[in-house]
Amino acid sequence: MVFNSVFTNNMNSCQQIDYSDYCKKRKLTELLRCPVCDLNVHFELVCQLSIDNNIYYTILQCPNCNQIIIQKCKSDDRETESECLEVYPVNRAGREFDDDLKKLSPTFCKVYNQALMAETYGLDEIAGMGYRKAVEFFG
Ligand SMILES: [Zn+2]
């Protein structure tokens, strides 16, 4: 396996390309929430690594917690839409609900967060079932 490191600009200033512009160019859905600090942020694009023509990794830095986030992406060719396969690290903290809701339905909060974790792992069918299950606790 040959790792081909493609910096977005040059070695000295590889953060000059805006992440939003980059996503538009690669037709990639922009990641808006940091999986580490769980805030909506505007990520800084650090660089992109390609293993082959189809799979590439986008390395991002969160401006809030300064952690590095890695997006594994797939695109069949540069003209078609890119698909985000995985995001590292996985959000383990889950969503923090307010105390009233936690008291009213602790099971909802638990099931919702398990569904959220499944979604982060790319298990969309499991996540869908989880969200529907979570909503049932209000029925
Ligand atoms: Zn963060």
CB 60 within 8 A of CB 42: no
Is 36 found in the same domain as 13? yes
Cα(1) to ligand 1 centroid in Å equals 31
> What single-letter amino acid sits at 31?
L
Q: Is the pLDDT of residue 41 over 60?
A: yes
- Share of residues in the chain with pLDDT > 70 (%): 83
CA distance 59 to 44: 9
Residues 51-81 have pLDDT tens digits of 777 888 999 999 999 999 999 999 877 667 8
Is 76 found in the same domain as 125? no
Evaluate whether residue 94 is within a structural domain: no
Is 14 found in the same domain as 82? yes
Evaluate whether residue 116 is within a structural domain: yes
Which range of residues forms the domain containing residue 76? 4-88
What is the pLDDT of the chain when averaged over all its residues? Answer: 83
Is 65 found in the same domain as 21? yes
CA distance 57 to 68: 12
Is 23 found in the same domain as 82? yes
Cα(62) to ligand 1 centroid in Å equals 5
Which residues have C-beta under 5 Å from ligand 1, the single-atom ion? 34, 36-37, 62, 64-65
CB 64 within 8 A of CB 41: yes
